[in-house]
Amino acid sequence: MFLKGSLKSLLPHVLRRIIRCNRLSISNTSGMAEGYKQANVVILPKSLADDFEKFCHANDGPLPLLYRSKPGDWKCPSLSSESDIRTDCLQYKMYEHGACTGSLESLKEYSEQLKDMVTFYLGCSFSFEKAIQNAGIPVRNVEQKCNVSMYKTAVPCYGVSTFCCNLVVTMRPIPERKLEATVLATSELKEAHGAPIHIGDPGLLGIQDLSKPDYGDPVHLHPGDIPVFWACGVTGVEAVINCRAPLAFTHSPGCMFITDLKNDNSIITSSREVPQVYCISQDPLHYSIVSTEAAQKIKTLETLIGIDPGDRGIIHLCRPDELLKASLSISHARSVLITTGFPTHFTYEPPEENDGPPGALAIAALLQALEKEVAMVTDQRAMSLNKKIIEEAVQLGILKKPIPLLSYQRENDDSALMFLCENGNPRRPRFDHLIAIERAGMAADGNYYNARKVNIKHLVDPIDELFLAARSIPGVTTTGVGDGGNELGMGKVKDAVKKHIKNGDVIACDVEADFTIVAGVSNWGGYAIACALYILNTCAIHDRYLRRAVGFPRLSKKMVWLSALPSVTKEENLLKALVRHGVRSGKTASLEMEVDGLPFYNTHSLMIENLL
pLDDT per position as a tens digit, 442-479? 999 999 999 999 999 999 999 999 999 999 999 999 99
**Range with the lowest mean pLDDT among 70-79, 383-392, 464-473, 543-552?**
70-79
Mean predicted confidence (pLDDT) in 514-526: 97
pLDDT surpassing 70 at residue 85: yes
**CATH architecture assignment, domain 276-611:** Alpha-Beta Complex (3.90)
User: How confident is the model at residue 3, as a pLDDT?
Assistant: 45
pLDDT surpassing 80 at residue 421: yes
Mean predicted confidence (pLDDT) in 297-325: 95
CATH code assigned to 30-263: 3.30.2040.10
User: How confident is the model at residue 264, as a pLDDT?
Assistant: 67
User: How confident is the model at residue 61, as a pLDDT?
Assistant: 96
User: How confident is the model at residue 129, as a pLDDT?
Assistant: 86
**Range with the lowest mean pLDDT among 79-88, 190-199, 393-402, 437-446?**
79-88
Global pTM reads 0.93
Mean pLDDT of the chain: 93
When pLDDT is cut at 50, 70 and 90, the band that residue 268 belongs to is low
User: How confident is the model at residue 172, as a pLDDT?
Assistant: 96
Give the closest residue to 448 by CA, choosing from 458, 457, 439, 435. 457
Q: Give the contacts of 502 (CB within 8 A, at least 6 positions apart).
A: 312, 313, 451
User: How confident is the model at residue 2, as a pLDDT?
Assistant: 43
How many residues are there in the chain? 612
pLDDT surpassing 50 at residue 1: no
Q: At what angle do helices 357-369 and 383-395 cross, to 10 degrees?
A: 50
pLDDT in tens, 27-44: 677 777 777 898 999 999
The total of other beta-carbon atoms located within 10 Å of residue 422's CB is 11
The DSSP code for 347 is T
pLDDT surpassing 80 at residue 83: yes
User: How confident is the model at residue 9, as a pLDDT?
Assistant: 63
DSSP code string of 451-515: TT--B-GGG---THHHHHHHTTSTT-EEEEEESSS-BTBBGGGHHHHHHHSTTHHHH-B--B-SE
Mean predicted confidence (pLDDT) in 110-124: 95
When pLDDT is cut at 50, 70 and 90, the band that residue 249 belongs to is very high
Domain boundary assignment for the chain: 30-263, 276-611
pLDDT surpassing 70 at residue 184: yes
pLDDT surpassing 80 at residue 22: no
User: How confident is the model at residue 4, as a pLDDT?
Assistant: 47
User: How confident is the model at residue 18, as a pLDDT?
Assistant: 83
Rounded Cα–Cα distance for residues 252 and 28 (Å): 9
3 state SS of 518: strand
Share of the chain above pLDDT 70, in %: 96
Give the closest residue to 344 by CA, choosing from 600, 583, 517. 583
When pLDDT is cut at 50, 70 and 90, the band that residue 6 belongs to is low
Mean predicted confidence (pLDDT) in 309-327: 94
User: How confident is the model at residue 265, as a pLDDT?
Assistant: 56
- Angle 538-542-546 from CA coordinates, rounded to 5°: 105
